[in-house]
Each structure stands twice: as C-alpha cells, then as structure tokens.
Structure 1
Amino acid sequence: MKITALVENQTKCELKAKHGLSLYIETQNHKILFDLGPDNTIFDNAKTRGIDLSKVDTVIISHGHMDHGGALSCFLQINATAKIYVQKKAFEPHYSKFIFLK
C-alpha cells in the first residue's frame, strides 16, 4: 500500500498547501481518495505527482466540511465511475446553538 498526501495544511515540497485534506491510497486492487480537499488544489498536486484521478475507483469523504469534500463536484467531472462513500446528511446545513444564536 502506498499513501500520498495530495492536500494538506502545510508542505515542505513542491506541492501546493491548502487548508484541508486529501490522501491518495493505492493498493494492489484499488485506487482510493480519502477526502478531496476544498478546491482544485487536489488536481494540481495530483498532476505534479503523476497521479491520474480519473483512475480512482473509490472515494471516502470523512465528513461534510468543505475542506474535506469541497472538490467533489469537480472530481465528478473527471471521474463519474468511482464509488463515493459519505454520510447521507454530510453536506446538509448544520448549525450549533450557543446562547440562542445559530
């Protein structure tokens, strides 16, 4: 198994840093993305690393924050066949209540 960080808050290499997370995980049988990051940073960094995101077969989005799944709609434009795993209500509006404020 090989894990490559495609989006991370900091970088010490040629990749672009961005608030968020995306990990590319390659096994003998699968090409997996764990989270997608917030924007097109994933695509730029994948290109730099020579990773073809159109070949990804599985996407797992950990939760509905934009810094983890914001690039989903752009990803689906280049890969319409990957299975997407995400909590059903992950991208619905969520609020926290603090002293009667939302």
Structure 2
Amino acid sequence: MFIGTSPEISNIIGYAIGIIVSYALNKIYTFKSKAHPKKEFPKFVLSLLTSYGLNFLTLILCIHIFKINPYISQIISGAVYTLSGFVFLKYFAFRNQLEGQTNED
C-alpha cells in the first residue's frame, strides 16, 4: 500500500510472497526436500488451504457453538492451523522426501 496499490492487491501480493517464502524455507530447511517444485508446490498450496479451512472451521465452532472467548478461539484455531499444516506438509506435500530417507538421515 505504501507504493500506492489498493489494500486488496497489497493483501494478495503479501500472501503470494508469503506462500513462496514459506515453500522455499520448508523445502530447504524443514523437510530438506530434493523433489521438483512442479510436483510439490501444488501439494504445498493444497495443504495450506486445507489447514486454513480447518482453522476457519475451528474458529467458527469455538465462537458460535462452544461460546469460547474470541481471543481464546483465535489461539485454538491458530494451533489447529499450525499442527495440521505441519502434518499435511510432512505426510502429503513433502512425503516423497520422507520415503527416501534412512534412519541415519
């Protein structure tokens, strides 16, 4: 927005950059994957979208069904996003890398 783009475009650009940076950092440092991004990146994005869906569902359930304080609900739903995201990335998006590892890795 500082350079004159609308809040909506700024938001899209910010999320796009965040997804790319997150993919690179997870690929290189967290999962040490050597697989081609053409196969991994769509799985990565699907994993994030699924985790976000679980996050949002959890938030709605906590606030509207269980009547939990909205701030606490945000913390709970954030934890659901973080944990589910890691599981989806480890066992879905970067799964092929795990199958090639030995106990010594």
Q: In which range does the TM-score fall when normalised by the shorter chain?
A: under 0.3
- Which structure has the highest strand share of the two? 1
Report which structure shows greater RCO (CA 8 Å, sep ≥6): 2
Whichever structure has more helix as a proportion of its residues is 2
* Structure number with larger C-alpha Rg: 2
